[in-house]
Structure 1
Amino acid sequence: MRVPFYRHSLPASSATLVAEVIESGFLTSGQRCSRVEEQLCAIFGTSHAKLTSSWTQGAVAVLLALGIGPGDEVIVPAMTFVATANVVKQVGARPVFVDVEPSTLLIDIALVKAAVTPRTRAVIPVHLYGQMVDIPTLRQALRPEIRIIEDAAHCFEGTRNGRRPGQDSDAAIFSFYATKNVTCGEGGAVVTNDGELAANLKETVLHGMSAAAAQRFSGGRYQHWDVARLGTKANLPDLLAVLLEAQLDTVDERLARREALAQRYEDSLAGTPLGVPTIEPGVVSARHLFPIHVPGGQRDWVMRTLNDQGIGATVNYRSVTELSLYRNDPAVQRHDFPVSLDWGEGTLCLPLFPTLTEEEQDYVLNVLRYEVIPSLTSHAIEERGVAAL
């Protein structure tokens, strides 16, 4: 049997929606984007939403809209996808890494507080694997002028104490990449309650231009535009936005399926040497990925075993500080991040998506149970900073 890492569930009828946009004659950002942005505001309880071409370009546009650039510092966790740090470098600022908590793998707020300097302009907490960082507590640890930009690429459906991404921060940024819980192949979105940021963002997602295509030709006549600030090219076209509308109406039922599958993994692997992050009380995880930690330096062997049996296991993620770009940066202290380093050397993710069948999941579990677990050494996982199942 072959079990892919991910299988999208977009119906064939999605092609009809794309055809409707093509027939309309307007392919770039227009009315279909505006409709999805209204949906996002309703879901997240925010005043503003802006669709973007990716999480990455959305983050660059947000940083530009906030005026963050050369000479500024932005605090990021060492355990995340590399884009979280890269966007800071792309606007000329300096990413300052801190370690994550041993049990949750979320950014360590005490370390954030200790890393703040007079140059700190923002913090990018990452809701890793779908679990939200405690944003109100993070806010209390910072000077009022330091911005909080949530990396919610994994956390579309997540909540903490009933609060959603974007409600207690300056902005939250989502990803609609091909393997995300809500997808249009490539894309993203920013939600915020900050009116000034939202106004600036409308420009920075489109080169800094004061008018998008739909506005430049409003009323049947061409309207002049200006550029007062630096921007990027980050807008999402209607051609992709149209794929999101129906998915936004069904996120809850897909989350319930992902949660059931995740619980099934956890119940079946209880008492084994494998570890997972702890989900804290009051948190509803978006269950974007199902990560496990393999002790004893045997992660790569386990991954090869799963791959050889047709199972799409992958690594999410190695510590950013171990990637060559940052490992070779003399400003980055590699040994300051023991939790991120350990998790990054031992983690892999198992297949998790709504159309994963129990037969497919049983196959994954049987390979783990009969081929992998008997060969694992009996390291004490708790001592390695990972919560045991």
Structure 2
Amino acid sequence: MPIPFYRHDLGQEELDAVAEVLRGEILTTGDAVREFERRFAAYLQRRRAVGMSSATGGLHLMLTALGIGPGDEVITTPLSFIATATAIVQAGATPVFVDVEEDTGNLDASRIEAAITPRTRAIIPVHLYGQMVDMVAIKAIADHHGLEIIEDAAHCVEGARDGLRPGEASAGACFSFYATKNLSCGEGGAIATDRADLADSIALMSVHGMNKTAADRQRHGYSHWDMEVFGWKYNMSNIQAALLLPQFQRLDRKTEERRHLAVRYTELLAGIPGITLPVIRPGCDHAWHLFVIRSQAMARDAMVERLIEAKIGVAVNYRPIHLMRWFRDRWDYAPGDFPVAERWGDEVLSVPFYPGMGDQTVANVADCIRAMVNGTC
């Protein structure tokens, strides 16, 4: 039977929660969203959370709420999903890339200060694949230079490092609940922060800057609303929140299962010539959103093709942002600009990884990779 790259585990509890919302009067932002925000903030041990339509929207509004825009520069990584950089462009600022660590793929904190200019306003580190970056080092740099930090934690709801959770050492963190994420509602996101003023500003901008929502008008009766600031349409709906809420009760169990699967993959892939895995730093509680390998044994794209032929689902996370056509055309990036990220982009491969896949499926994938490298398949 084919092995999918990902399979969600949403079921009857989520169906029941959505049915309850459908029996109500408010399908857009309402009580279910407020309950999700409360529980999400509590899970992360942050003071506030704001439900969003995507992590991209969260990054955009976080930058905007911090007053970062035209003429400003924001340091980030070239090894991420494109939204990390395009959100900076949406805010009117300029992304400035810094290369990544050879052994983790995460933003290399030791390279950040060389990229700081008088126009630098913020740093956006990405907790790639679920492993947090060195937030202690990045916060020290940011504090020294008076910069803001916005964490792209799209992969890292459950993660921690050096005793820090996402959003703890920064202005806030942005999360994704896309279809393949550990906590998922198909499309959706959130920001989490300890700064109430920032949360209030983002919540207002996420509903076009309107000071009354549909739920407010339904609850209290119609009264005129005003547009207090310029805003966008980035709010979360009650339907999305209903899909998310039941997942909190099994999130820890799913995290443990992911960790178990990661251990099994690591054991079974050990010793295959030319196959390497990202190093897990000491003091890191990995969220295990993705399990990736790097292939020096055979061309990555050839391995992708062979795995697909073997009916094993795969993905590439990620090809470097700076070599995407739009970024090359706009800023004249070229191969060699960020060589470590480019090596990752040429070699990295994400294999099937999701709760419920079981040890035997992990073994089947690992056996197939070993056979390909050994030339027996």
Count of equivalent residues:
374
Deviations 1:169-194 (A, max 9, x none): 10100100000000011000100011
SS state at 1:328 partner: helix
Aligned residue in 2 for 1:106: 106
State whether residues 122 and 149 of structure 2, in contact with CA within 8 Å, keep that contact through their aligned partners in structure 1.
yes
1:68–1:93 CA contact under 8 A, matched in 2: yes
2:370 is the alignment partner of 1:369? yes
Counterpart of 1:56 in structure 2: which amino acid? Answer: T
Note the C-alpha offset of 1:224.
Answer: 2.3
Any conservation in 2 of the 1:107–1:133 contact (CA below 8 Å)? yes
> Would you say 1:167 and 2:160 are equivalent positions?
no
Alpha carbons 2:193, 2:199 under 8 Å: kept: yes
- Residue of structure 2 equivalent to 1:184: 185
Structure 2's unaligned 5+ residue stretches are: none
The alignment status of 1:130 with 2:130, answered yes or no, reads yes
- Preserved contact between residue 62 and residue 204 of structure 1 (Cα < 8 Å): no
CA distance in 2, matches of 1:194, 1:359: 46
Please give the alpha-carbon distance, in whole angstroms, between the structure 1 residues aligned to 2:353 and 2:177: 16
Instruction: Report the Cα distance in structure 2 between the residues aligned to 1:64 and 1:218, rounded to whole angstroms.
Output: 30
1:381 corresponds to: none
Once residues 69 and 333 of structure 2 are traced to their aligned partners in structure 1, the CA distance between those partners, rounded to angstroms, is 19
What residue number does 1:357 align with?
358
Q: 1:296 deviation in Å? A: 5.4
Aligned-pair identity (%): 41
Q: Does 1:268 align with 2:282?
A: no
- Shift of the alpha carbon at 1:345? 0.4
User: Residue 246 of structure 1: SS of its match in structure 2?
Assistant: helix
Shift of 1:332: 3.6
Letter in 2 for 1:35: E
CA–CA distance in structure 1, aligned partners of residues 334 and 188 of structure 2: 33
Alignment of 1:207-286 (within 5 A): 207-228=208-229, 230-272=230-272, 273-286=274-287
Q: Distance in 1 between matches of 2:251 and 2:346?
A: 32
Listed as ranges, the matches of 1:1-389 within 5 Å are 1-142=1-142, 143=144, 145-228=146-229, 230-272=230-272, 273-295=274-296, 298-332=299-333, 334-370=335-371, 372-375=372-375
TM-score, length basis structure 1: 0.93
After TM superposition, give the deviation of residue 16 of structure 1 in Å.
Answer: 2.1
Q: Distance in 2 between matches of 1:342 and 1:375?
A: 24
Per-residue CA deviations over 1:202-258 (Å, capped at 9, x if unaligned) read: 111112223322234542242422232x22111010011011111112211101101
2: distance between equivalents of 1:366 and 1:248? Answer: 34
Q: Could you tell me how far apart the structure 1 residues matched to 2:99 and 2:297 are? A: 21
| Separation in 1, partners of 2:127, 2:375 | 33
Q: Measure the CA separation in 1 of the matches of 2:68 and 2:205.
A: 12
Deviations along 1:117-161, one digit per CA (max 9) or x if unpaired, are 111111110000000012122011124531100000000100112
RMSD: 1.5
Q: Structure 1 residue 12: deviation in Å?
A: 3.1
Distance in 2, matches of 1:155 and 1:278, equals: 16
Q: Partners of 2:218 and 2:375 in 1: how far apart? A: 66
Q: State whether residues 216 and 225 of structure 1, in contact with CA within 8 Å, keep that contact through their aligned partners in structure 2.
A: no
Q: CA separation in 2, counterparts of 1:297 and 1:326? A: 29
Give 2:200's aligned amino acid. A
Per the alignment, in what secondary structure is the counterpart of residue 369 of structure 1?
helix
In 2, the alpha carbon distance for the partners of 1:13 and 1:257 equals: 20
- CA distance, structure 1, for counterparts of residue 315 and residue 226 of structure 2: 46
Q: Distance in 1 between matches of 2:184 and 2:312?
A: 22
Aligned in 2, Cα 1:15/1:267: closer, same or farther, shift over 3 Å?
Answer: same
Q: Any idea what the Cα deviations from partners look like across 1:88-136, whole Å, max 9, x if unmatched?
A: 1112110001100111111111211111111111111000000001212
For the 8 Å contact 1:216–1:223, the answer to whether it is kept is: no
After TM superposition, give the deviation of residue 375 of structure 1 in Å.
Answer: 3.7
Cα distance in 2, alignment partners of residues 110 and 136 from structure 1: 12
Q: Which runs of 5+ in 1 are unaligned?
A: 377-389
Q: Secondary structure at the match of 1:265?
A: helix
Q: Check whether the contact 2:158–2:286 (CA below 8 A) recurs between aligned residues.
A: yes
Task: Give the alignment's TM-score, normalised by structure 2.
Answer: 0.96
Structure 1 residues 331, 119: CA separation in 2 closer, same or farther (over 3 Å shift)?
A: farther
Q: 1:340 to 1:375 in 2, by over 3 A?
A: farther
Q: Is the 8 A contact 1:8 1:179 kept in 2?
A: yes
Q: Are 2:275 and 2:297, in contact at CA under 8 Å, matched by a contact in 1?
A: no
CA–CA distance in 1 between the matches of 2:173 and 2:257? Answer: 25
Distance in 2 separating the partners of 1:247 and 1:113: 40
Partner of 1:385: none
Secondary structure at the counterpart of residue 331 of structure 2: coil
